[in-house]
């Protein structure tokens, strides 16, 4: 455990002292902010329309959680797809290229501890990025409450909480796959391209399931990585989704471990 | 019992045999020079000794532990400086050495005092808080050496420890290595003959994956003197032994 923390600490230090992470953070915040203002604008339009034509019934249907936070969070999944591989590409590929992996592999540390230490640092970055987006629901809470009819809570905070849980699990799955692709090469570019490819395949699997009927379709739908986010963002934690993300994380970490451990055998 | 015991060590890559059934022992406190032309199999041997790479055949025991079966026990006892100093350019010297000390299981007070010890020993005080990317190649090489000394390991395996150093630094590092004898067992690889003369008592010459000589330095010189009926320099001996 202490070895894991030592490695995680070193990775976190490199993350927080080099520019790459800050560029990723900035791009992430700017793109989510763009989506945020987009959905807030749309919400304003529809509430204006509802007031003009629909009256009370339509207004009651409108709320910030469903109209702003839901599409925002679903889009964060896409932004994650682009951003997280950038954070994980360095983790093992760079150690191979600069031969520092030789240091780790000749230290009294188990290969599994190396993998988990690096993964832990990447998880910390995911948590940090998500923490940066807390700004958006807080804004809505502060400025949204006065315009809402019930006046107290602009947002359904339970749904916000499950959304964050879901996004964290999604991010954790992405970095697990990113870590794996980083372990198989000594080139960061190859690592990031592979991660994009694998994650993209996981993303589009859901849409191909529309044409594939029967069992194959069901399997593809189940494997589709973003579909499992849906219920979290709707405020429901389903065990099937949690199990799905945990399995992806496990498979990613296990394969990374095997790749690193294979070093001792080849 | 020998601290380092290598038996019939063989490493085959797909179509190339890098080292071919080599065996040697190193006793506690010895400094052994591992000498050979570039590509002779020196680095490969060292990578296997440290458990970074598996052997195709043969056994390596360090302090009685089999490298393949008990890698963690072996790694606890080895300080290793690879060919390329394994440093992180984005860390400071201080952060880097603290990190390696933690990997070697040092914690708290022991960690800080050991880092201080190696920093003084290798002469890194002036660059202690600087980023590794910003210090000279010579300093980076010394950071690599400092890292190997952390935790005071029984066995030191140094792959070309003086590469990239200026003459003054080379002399300092050589005298440092000489000081290490006694408490530590040192294997030092090099293709520089003077290095062996300056630091080692015993020399193993390896060529194309085979050991072509393994004896105390002065025996080697004497032996070749009687053979050729004249005094040969180590350079001549080396060249005659490693002839293609």
What DSSP string describes A21-50? HHHHHHHHHHHHHHHHHHHHHHHHHHHHHI
**What pLDDT was estimated at residue B219?**
79
- Tell me the C-alpha to C-alpha distance, in Å, between residue A2 and each of A14, A116, A231, A249, B134: 18, 11, 36, 22, 30
Q: Tell me what the mean pLDDT of segment A202-216 comes to.
A: 72
B51 part of contact set with chain A, CB < 8 Å: yes
pLDDT at A175 over 60: yes
- For residue A113, give its domain range: 2-262
Per-residue pLDDT tens over the stretch A114-140: 999 999 999 999 999 999 999 888 888
Nearest-Cα distance to chain B for A175, in Å, is 22
List CB contacts (< 8 A) between A263 and chain B: 52-53
Q: Tell me what the mean pLDDT of segment A168-197 comes to.
A: 96
Q: CA B32, CA A207: separation in Å to the nearest integer?
A: 65
Which residue among B84, B99, B147 sits closest to A6, beta carbon to beta carbon? B99
Q: Tell me what the mean pLDDT of segment A42-50 comes to.
A: 84
Query: Which among B85, B94, B102, B160 is the top mutation candidate for probing chain A, defined by the most A β-carbons within 10 Å of its own β-carbon?
Result: B102
Query: Band of the pLDDT at A166, cuts 50, 70, 90?
Result: very high
Q: Tell me what the mean pLDDT of segment B1-28 comes to.
A: 89
Q: Could A108 and B75 be called an inter-chain contact, meaning their C-beta atoms sit closer than 8 Å?
A: yes
**What pLDDT was estimated at residue A195?**
96
Q: Could A103 and B107 be called an inter-chain contact, meaning their C-beta atoms sit closer than 8 Å?
A: no
Query: Band of the pLDDT at B40, cuts 50, 70, 90?
Result: confident
Query: Band of the pLDDT at B228, cuts 50, 70, 90?
Result: low
List CB contacts (< 8 A) between A266 and chain B: 53-54
Q: CA A108, CA A6: separation in Å to the nearest integer?
A: 12
A105 part of contact set with chain B, CB < 8 Å: yes
**What pLDDT was estimated at residue B135?**
93
pLDDT at A147 over 80: no
The ipTM, to two decimals, is 0.89
List CB contacts (< 8 A) between B102 and chain A: 2-3, 6, 9
pLDDT at A146 over 70: no
* Highest mean pLDDT pick, A160-174, A193-207, B223-237: A160-174
Q: Could B80 and A106 be called an inter-chain contact, meaning their C-beta atoms sit closer than 8 Å?
A: yes
Q: How many domains does chain A have?
A: 1
Kindly report the CATH number that applies to the domain delimited by B1-77+154-244: 3.40.50.300
Q: Could A110 and B72 be called an inter-chain contact, meaning their C-beta atoms sit closer than 8 Å?
A: yes
Q: Could B80 and A17 be called an inter-chain contact, meaning their C-beta atoms sit closer than 8 Å?
A: no
Q: CA A113, CA B54: separation in Å to the nearest integer?
A: 20
**What pLDDT was estimated at residue B230?**
64
Are the C-beta atoms of residues B162 and B190 closer than 8 Å to each other? yes
Q: Which of B91, B52, B107, B45 is nearest to B74 (CA)?
A: B52
Q: CA B215, CA B201: separation in Å to the nearest integer?
A: 9
Phi, psi of B167 (to 5 degrees): -55, -40
A100 part of contact set with chain B, CB < 8 Å: yes
B29 part of contact set with chain A, CB < 8 Å: no
**What pLDDT was estimated at residue B180?**
82
Per-residue pLDDT tens over the stretch A13-25: 999 999 999 999 9
**What pLDDT was estimated at residue A52?**
80
Which residue among A7, A18, A104 sits closest to B90, beta carbon to beta carbon? A18
Mean of the per-residue pLDDT values of chain A: 88
Q: Could B82 and A266 be called an inter-chain contact, meaning their C-beta atoms sit closer than 8 Å?
A: no
Pair of tokens at residue A11 = 């990775």
Query: Band of the pLDDT at A214, cuts 50, 70, 90?
Result: confident
A9 part of contact set with chain B, CB < 8 Å: yes
Query: Band of the pLDDT at B201, cuts 50, 70, 90?
Result: confident
Between A67 and A57, whose confidence is greater?
Answer: A67
Chain A residue at shortest CA distance from B53: A264
A218 part of contact set with chain B, CB < 8 Å: no
**What pLDDT was estimated at residue B150?**
94
**What pLDDT was estimated at residue B182?**
73
Pairing of β B202-207 and β B31-35: parallel
Compute the residue count for chain B.
244
**Segments making up each domain of chain B, as ranges:** 1-77+154-244, 85-153
Determine which of A219-228, A247-256, B22-31 has the lowest per-residue pLDDT on average. Answer: A219-228
Mean of the per-residue pLDDT values of chain B: 88
pLDDT at B81 over 90: yes
**What pLDDT was estimated at residue B156?**
94
B158 part of contact set with chain A, CB < 8 Å: no
pLDDT at B175 over 80: yes
Chain A residue at shortest CA distance from B150: A107
**What pLDDT was estimated at residue A230?**
86
**What pLDDT was estimated at residue A149?**
52
Chain A residue at shortest CA distance from B102: A6
List CB contacts (< 8 A) between B53 and chain A: 263, 266
pLDDT at A253 over 90: yes
Percent of chain A with pLDDT over 90: 58
Determine which of A142-146, A176-180, A254-258 has the lowest per-residue pLDDT on average. Answer: A142-146
Q: In chain B, where do the E strands start and end?
A: 4-12, 17-26, 31-35, 57-62, 65-66, 78-81, 155-159, 185-190, 202-207, 210-216
Which residue among A3, A103, A108 sits closest to B76, beta carbon to beta carbon? A108
Are the C-beta atoms of residues B196 and B220 closer than 8 Å to each other? no
Which residues fall within 8 angstroms of residue A204, CB to CB, at 6 or more apart? A224
Query: Band of the pLDDT at B174, cuts 50, 70, 90?
Result: confident
Per-residue pLDDT tens over the stretch A231-243: 898 888 999 999 9
């Amino acid at each position: 455990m202490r070895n894991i923390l030592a490695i995680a600490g070193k990775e976190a230090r490199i993350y927080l002292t080099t520019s790459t992470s800050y560029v990723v953070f900035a791009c992430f915040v700017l793109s989510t902010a763009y989506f945020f203002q987009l959905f807030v604008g749309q919400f304003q339009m529809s509430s204006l329309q509802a007031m003009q034509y629909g009256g009370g019934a339509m207004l009651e249907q409108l709320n910030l959680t469903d109209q702003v936070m839901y599409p925002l969070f679903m889009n964060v999944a896409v932004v994650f797809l682009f951003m997280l591989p950038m954070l994980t590409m360095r983790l093992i590929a760079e150690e191979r290229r600069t031969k520092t992996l030789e240091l780790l592999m000749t230290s009294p540390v188990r290969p599994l501890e190396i993998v988990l230490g690096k993964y832990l640092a990447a998880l910390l970055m995911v948590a940090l990025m998500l923490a940066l987006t807390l700004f958006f629901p807080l804004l809505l809470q502060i400025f949204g409450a006065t315009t809402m009819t019930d006046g107290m809570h602009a947002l359904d905070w339970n749904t916000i909480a499950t959304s964050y849980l879901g996004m964290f699990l999604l991010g954790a799955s992405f970095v697990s796959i990113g870590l794996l692709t980083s372990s198989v090469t000594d080139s960061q570019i190859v690592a990031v391209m592979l991660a994009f490819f694998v994650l993209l395949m996981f993303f589009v699997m859901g849409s191909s399931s529309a044409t594939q009927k029967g069992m194959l379709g069901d399997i593809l739908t189940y494997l589709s990585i973003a579909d499992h986010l849906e219920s979290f963002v709707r405020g429901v934690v389903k065990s099937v989704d949690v199990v799905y993300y945990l399995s992806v994380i496990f498979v990613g970490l296990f394969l990374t471990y095997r790749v690193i451990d294979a070093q001792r055998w080849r | 019992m020998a601290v380092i015991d290598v038996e019939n060590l063989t490493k085959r890559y797909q179509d190339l045999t890098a080292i071919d059934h080599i065996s040697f022992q190193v006793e506690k406190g010895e400094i052994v020079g591992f000498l050979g032309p570039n590509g002779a199999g020196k680095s490969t041997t060292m990578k296997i000794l440290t458990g970074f790479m598996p052997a195709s055949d043969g056994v390596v025991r360090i302090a009685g532990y089999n490298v393949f079966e008990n890698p963690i026990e072996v790694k606890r006892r080895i300080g290793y400086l690879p060919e390329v100093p394994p440093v992180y350019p984005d860390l400071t010297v201080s952060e880097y050495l603290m990190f390696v000390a933690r990997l070697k299981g040092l914690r708290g007070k022991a960690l800080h005092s050991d880092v201080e010890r190696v920093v003084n020993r290798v002469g890194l005080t002036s660059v202690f808080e600087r980023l590794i990317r910003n210090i000279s190649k010579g300093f980076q090489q010394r950071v690599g050496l400092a890292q190997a000394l952390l935790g005071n390991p029984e066995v030191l395996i140094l792959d070309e420890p003086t590469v990239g150093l200026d003459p003054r630094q080379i002399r300092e590092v050589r005298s440092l290595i000489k000081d290490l004898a006694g408490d530590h067992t040192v294997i030092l690889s090099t293709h520089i003959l003077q290095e062996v003369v300056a630091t080692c008592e015993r020399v193993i010459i390896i060529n194309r994956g085979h050991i072509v000589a393994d004896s105390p330095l002065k025996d080697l010189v004497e032996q070749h003197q009687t053979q050729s009926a004249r005094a040969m320099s180590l350079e001549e001996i080396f060249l005659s032994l490693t002839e293609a």
